[in-house]
Amino acid sequence: MASLLDNWKRTHFTKNINTNLVDEEIIVMGWVHEIRDLGGIVFVVIRDRNGRIQITAPSKKIDSKILEQIRGFRKESVVAIKGKVQNSDKAPKGVEIIPNEIKVLNEANQPLPMDPTDKVKAEIDTRLDNRFIDLRRDNISSIFKIKSQMLHSTRIFFEENGFIEVNTPKLVASATEGGTELFPITYFEREAFLGQSPQLYKQMMMAAGFERIFEIAQIFRAEEHDTLRHLNETISIDMESSFMTDLDVMDILEKLINKVLVDVIENCQEELNILNVDLKPSQCPFPVVTYDKAVNIINSKDVEMEWGEDLSRAAEKILGEEYPNYYFLTEWPSEIKPFYVMPNEKDPTKSHAFDLMYGNLEISSGAMRIHQHDLLKEKIVEKGLNPNSFESYLKSFDYGMPPHSGWGLGADRFNMTLTGLNNIRETVLFPRDRKRLTP
């Protein structure tokens, strides 16, 4: 690379080039986005991660060798251009660069597998097969700039509220929640699994006395869903806190959501405009809908649902019509929640579990956890699981486990709500589903 660049260094990103730089010599580096050859003059648009700038090459003003180089440009090749900034009323930024030296750093093969200028629409599979080019498009890169801001704001929020970031194993010996939704792997002479959730480790951190922890990491679920909202590898934002109830951590979740909304609106307005999304802070507090009430609403709309069932897709759509923004679903039946969820002390058929919904999309689940060893072991058996498989986990409940609560927030689904998308694959750089393991 050094031999290609020699002593050249980029002096400006495209977004920083303006009329204050007129008559200055600068160096820009990026991709050839568009070329227009009008005979006596050639216009080239150079793109970097921040935007675009017009390179103008009039045949009467520049060296013929440079003009020949420019005419030989291939779209999406990587180039470096040294030139002088000039005013131009017709250029998109009010300025243009007149080149006096050019380096072609890497030529792109032709034809391209897809057009990053959006002049020819590509199907989702073509885009994902050529994701590195798909991500060059403004509307696609905007999704991930917003996601980056969301994750940054999330970390800031947790740090400002006294949480410690942890990193838990993703290779585990047993299921987190039971069931068959596990990816088995060969771990030397025995079987192991990819982690479904950091749940058990989060709770062990409560026994460790950390009191407030969070983690942002991948989780893996071997679900055979083939929908617009399910993937087999996703990012989960998890928190756990001692001496807190389910209501306390619902309050934390609500505050985090609004912190992210405010920060994205403030720092990503250009990206929101590109995506044509009018994002607004959410009304607080979020509505709270009990499971009982939800069942009544769903049945009143001629969608049958018995008490004790999980929400069907049709049921979720009904609730989304009633509550189009963020809202909590609470008091879920204990029977359909994991073994570690605290049952309601007044009515054990109900639990201290909640979901955070956005319209018809579930984006978070949480609960107050069982912190008593004997009750926890009893619930493990009730769910048809073997307590011996949870020996190291259960051990942490024998030596001073405080009451605690927590939740997991799907970062990719959350980003769907920020960007107005309806396909979770759009919010993941390289999605993994039933059919896609590459790139």
Q: Where are the domains of the chain?
A: 2-106, 133-287+323-427
**H helix runs in 59-178, sequence order:** 64-71, 124-129, 131-134, 138-160
Rounded to an integer, what is the distance from CA 160 to the centroid of its chain? 22
What is the sign of the dihedral through the CA atoms of 129, 135, 138 and 144?
Answer: positive
Query: Which tens digit of pLDDT belongs to each residue from 363-384?
Result: 999 999 999 999 999 999 999 9
Per-residue confidence band for 179, with pLDDT thresholds at 50, 70 and 90:
low
* Distance separating alpha carbons of residues 185 and 82, to the nearest angstrom: 53
Crossing angle of helices 246-267 and 411-419, rounded to 10°: 50
* Distance separating alpha carbons of residues 88 and 18, to the nearest angstrom: 11
133-287+323-427 CATH choice from 3.40.50.360, 3.30.930.10, 3.40.50.300, 3.30.390.50: 3.30.930.10
Query: Which tens digit of pLDDT belongs to each residue from 107-131?
Result: 999 999 999 987 778 999 999 999 9
Q: Is 40 helix (H, G, I), strand (E, B) or coil?
A: coil
Four-CA torsion 390, 395, 396, 399, nearest 10 degrees: 160
Least confident of 17-26, 116-125, 205-214: 116-125
Pairing assessment for the beta strands 41-48 and 25-37 based on DSSP bridges: antiparallel
* Distance separating alpha carbons of residues 32 and 15, to the nearest angstrom: 16
Confirm whether 2-106 and 133-287+323-427 share one CATH topology: no
The helix, strand and coil proportions of the chain, stated in percent and rounded to the nearest 5, come to: 35, 25, 40
Region 183-206 average pLDDT:
95
Please indicate whether residue 435 or residue 175 has the higher confidence score (pLDDT): 435
pLDDT at position 226:
86
Please indicate whether residue 129 or residue 179 has the higher confidence score (pLDDT): 129
Region 188-192 average pLDDT:
93
Report residue 355: phi and psi, to 5°.
-120, 145
pLDDT at position 2:
46
CA-to-CA separations, 92 to 86, 361, 412, in angstroms, rounded = 13, 40, 34
Query: Which tens digit of pLDDT belongs to each residue from 248-284?
Result: 999 999 999 999 999 999 999 999 999 999 999 998 8
* Distance separating alpha carbons of residues 86 and 431, to the nearest angstrom: 43
Nearest to 370 by CA among 340, 330, 401, 390: 340
End-to-end alpha carbon distance in the chain: 26
Per-residue confidence band for 3, with pLDDT thresholds at 50, 70 and 90:
low
* Distance separating alpha carbons of residues 77 and 75, to the nearest angstrom: 6
pLDDT at position 299:
97
pLDDT at residue 1 greater than cutoff 50: no
pLDDT at position 4:
75
pLDDT at residue 176 greater than cutoff 70: no
Per-residue confidence band for 181, with pLDDT thresholds at 50, 70 and 90:
confident
Query: Which tens digit of pLDDT belongs to each residue from 299-348?
Result: 999 999 999 999 999 999 999 999 999 999 999 999 999 999 999 999 99
Query: What percent of the chain shows pLDDT beyond 90?
Result: 91
* Domain 2-106 homologous superfamily, CATH: Nucleic acid-binding proteins (2.40.50.140)
Region 78-83 average pLDDT:
97
pLDDT at residue 26 greater than cutoff 60: yes
Query: What percent of the chain shows pLDDT beyond 70?
Result: 98
The amino acid present at 279, given as its one-letter code, is L
